[in-house]
Structure formats: structure tokens, C-alpha cells
Amino acid sequence: MRCPLCTDDLEHCHEVSIAHADGTTECGGDGPCALGHLLHDWRVPCVDLDPPCPCAGDDAVPLPLAA
């Protein structure tokens, strides 16, 4: 598969970037990914995951601090 961004040798990622309720994002691909959320072909809020991410509670309940 060839995309225009690959052809132009631009930085981008073909994986899904997941946006969490606290504003952090996470690449769903294998291995580390240093590219920003907007450089991903696919972007989903974590509430749309199945099952939904626990950070996406109705009131964005803060995660309990790990001991």
C-alpha cells in the first residue's frame, strides 16, 4: 500500500492513535511510536474502543493513584 505521505517521505504513522480523556495519546501499533496524534492515519477517542478504556468514565473520574 502506498499513500501520498509515504511518497513524499513525510513523517506519519499508519496505525491508530488513541486519545485518552486526560489528553494523552497512545499509538496502537507495535513498538514505540514517537509521532504525534495528528500524524496518524486513524485517530479514535478511547471511549470508542471495545471495551471502552476505563479512563473514559461518565465524569472522567480521576484514576486512583497507584501505591
Asked if residue 18 lies in contact with residue 25, where contact means CB atoms within 8 angstroms, the answer is yes
Per-residue interface string for the shown chain with Zn ion, residues 21-60, x marking contact by CB under 5 A: ------x-x---x------------x------x-x-----
- Distance from C-alpha of 47 to C-alpha of 45, rounded to nearest angstrom: 5
How many residues in the shown chain lie near Zn ion by CB under 5 A?
12
Asked if residue 37 lies in contact with residue 25, where contact means CB atoms within 8 angstroms, the answer is yes
CB of 39 to Zn ion, least distance (A): 7
Polymer length in residues for the chain? 67
Provide the binding-site residues for Zn ion, judged by CB under 5 A: 3, 5-6, 13, 15, 20, 27, 29, 33, 46, 53, 55
